[in-house]
Every structure is written in structure tokens, then in C-alpha cells.
Amino acid sequence: MKAERWMVPLVLALAVIGLLAAGCSEETTGPGPGDSQTEVPDLDDPLGGYTTQDELPAFGDPDLAESAGEESPYDDAMGDDPKIARWRHADADSVHAYVVTILWGMMARDPSMADSLLDPDVPVTDWSGALRVDRGGVLLRSTVAFERGDHIVRPRTDRTEIAWVSHTTVSYDGLRIVVYQPFEGEEDGEDDTLVIEAGTHVWEFAVNDLAELDFEETVDDAGNKFVLRSFLARPEVCGRGFIGGTWLVPENPEEERGVFRGRWVSADGRVAGYVRGFHGVNGQGREVFYGKYIDLDGTFRGILRGTWNRERILGSSDPDHPERHHGTFNGEWIDQNERVAGSVKGAWVAAPGAGRGFFEGRWKAICSRP
């Protein structure tokens, strides 16, 4: 919920990409130190025109780097609880660990683009509440976009519960947590539940369903949403986490390219890198996207490629209630040897031509092969 720091550079990037679509120019992705090679976005190229060259940290974009502050790792004292400490190091057969992201608010723009609480005309939504499991425990790994009075209620005295105070207007807040589900004897966890109370709303989830869950619900006419994405941490999977940031759609999405950029977040709630790319319709009429993933130092980690779709359109031509496109994306990322290194999937929402939009989702890495 900070000032719209990305607005100007992202709108300019969108304009530049529109010129590229007409063959008027070329775009570089910001070559790494000592490398003058340019990368020309190409919706019909197998790699989108990207190369494996390293980049400047955060692609040389200070606003993108500053957006990492929206993810705030949390030093949860409950990590010293004897049972949670034991569960954190237990084998996967005796304890299941579910990594969960929970978001609430207006999923219309990245929090780094919104100066929401400074606008007196935007109503405030109170999402203060708590989550609890009936068995096992929960550990808080990070808060998302908490500020101006948003906070975790401390001290935590119960390993099964986390409480918070949170208010949103035009953006969203959230938590990244780990749910520990221990097994003893013949227990199968079938009756275990996670209950989340936020504001006036209550949701209940079966803990077993958290193994692979994408849940989204619109809670009011204003467009506020509740989103939960989760996965089971498995020893055979070498890495999983989340991605999120800004997704912009041009005024004529069938003819022009859009852009996206954002943060690559690890399962422990820390920003591990950055991604940026573009999306559009290629020469075969397919809706495709391409992007580049780098670590915090700017070292190349992968090229993203896949497909996107537009599932629904809400709103109208009224400037006070602009049309919003909602959709999903699904793809893979490849390493420097052009081998598949993992997958990405998620959802996006954007107002065409308005310079604001948002995406969030999950990534999964494949274990290294000889």
C-alpha cells in the first residue's frame, strides 16, 4: 500500500512494447555487467527472444527492488515451541508441512503501486481476525504488505492460532504460513481443519486439502476477495514457492503486448529473486507469455514460457468502475541448457490501458538431473 512508484516506468514499458509490436523499435532487458547483447521480445520465438545472460540486480529497476519490501519475513517466536521445533525437523511420513499463502482485499494492483490509505474517498475494509487449526500447529513465515497499523497480535501463546489486525482499501494484505499436521498411530488427518476468520467472513478448509489448493472467493460488491494458495512440502520436490507482482494489459490486447514484473518468493516467505516479461497473442493465434527469472544478484535462473487466458470481464466503460479482465497463466521455466527446470501457474487481473494490474501464483522446481 505504498505510493504508485511503478506506475510511470510500467506505463512507459507498455508503450515501448506497443511500438515493438509495430516493428518500430527494439527493447533490451538491461544487459548484465560487461554484456551489451540485446534481447528483442518475440512472441513467436521458442524463448521469447530472451537469452541466458545475467542482469543487473532487479533488472536495474530500483522500484522493482524496493517492492521486495512488501514481503516482510517474520521471526515467529513460536518456532521455539518444543513441538513445532520437533515437527520442523521430522520426516515427511510422521508430519506433513503445508506451505500456505493467504491474501485478502482488492486484487486489482500490486500493493507497491497503491497509496490506498491516503485516499479519503476509498472505503476501508477491516480484515482483522485469526486463523486456527484444531490439531498440530502453525508457524508464521512472513506478512504481505502490512503497514500503517497492520500487525500480528503478540505474544502468540497458542501454537494452533495466529491473530492479526489488518485494513485495506484499493490493495490487499496477507500472510505466508506453514501448517504442521503430525500423525500418530493410525491417524489419517481426515478430520483436521483450518479455520480462518477475517473481518465478518469465515472459511473452513480440510487440512488434507492444503496439499494442492487454489481457492478464490469474491466477498462483496466492491470486488474484495479472499485468496488461499497452498502446497505440501515434499522431500522429492526440490523447491516450491510463490510469485507475485504487476500484470499490465494494453488497451488493445489482441494487437499489442502486455508486460508483467514481480517477485520470486521462497517457501519461507523471503524474496529470492525477480521476474519480468511480456504476454500477447502470437502468429498462430495462441495466447502466450515469456519472462526471465533472476536471483537477487541478477544471476540468470530461468526463462519462463507458457500460456495465459482471459476467463471473464467485469466492470464497464464508466471511468469510476473501469472494465477489469481476469485470467490465469500456466507454464514452465527452462534453465541455461534449455531443459525444463520447473513450472509456474497462477491468476491475474488488470484494467486494459489503465496502467494497473496484478498477478500472483506458485512455482515448483524439478530436482536436478545428471
Do 361 and 272 sit in the same domain of this protein? yes
**Whether residue 4 has pLDDT greater than 50:** no
Whether residue 257 sits in one domain with residue 341: yes
User: Are 206 and 307 members of one domain?
Assistant: no
Across the chain, mean pLDDT equals: 86
Give domain status of residue 2, yes or no.
no
What stretch of H or E contains 290? Answer: strand 287-295
User: Is 126 a domain residue?
Assistant: yes
Per-residue model confidence (pLDDT) at position 37: 55
pLDDT value of residue 322 = 65
Q: Which domain holds residue 253?
A: 7-68+239-365
Task: Give how many domains the chain has, as a whole number.
Answer: 2
**Do 80 and 201 belong to one domain?**
yes
For residues 132 and 143, give the distance between their C-alpha atoms in angstroms, rounded to a whole number: 17
Look at residue 370 and tell me if it is in a domain. no
Q: For residues 153 and 78, what is the distance between their CA atoms, to the nearest angstrom?
A: 13
Residues 284, 181 within the same domain? no
Counting residues of the chain whose pLDDT is more than 90, the rounded percentage is 70
Residues 299, 181: one domain? no
**In this structure, are 221 and 322 located in the same domain?**
no
Q: Considering the chain, what percentage of its residues have pLDDT values greater than 70?
A: 83
C-alpha cell at 291: 519472462
The answer to the question of residue 1 being in a domain is no
Same domain for 83 and 59: no
Of the residues 232, 247, 275, the one at which a domain ends: 232
219 plus 254 within the same structural domain: no
For 343-355, write each residue's pLDDT tens digit: 999 999 998 988 8
Clarify whether residues 266 and 336 are in a common domain. Answer: yes
187 and 202: one domain?
A: yes
Q: What is the torsion angle, in degrees rounded to the nearest 10, for the CA atoms of residue 249, residue 16, residue 345 and residue 136? A: -90
Tens digit of pLDDT for each residue in 114-140? 554 445 567 899 999 999 999 999 999
pLDDT at 77 over 70: yes
Residue 160 region by backbone torsions, left for phi larger than 0, else alpha for psi between -120 and 50, else beta: alpha
Q: Give Cα separations from 76 to 152, 178, 217 (angstroms).
A: 10, 11, 28
Does residue 337 form part of some domain? yes
Q: Do 19 and 161 belong to one domain?
A: no
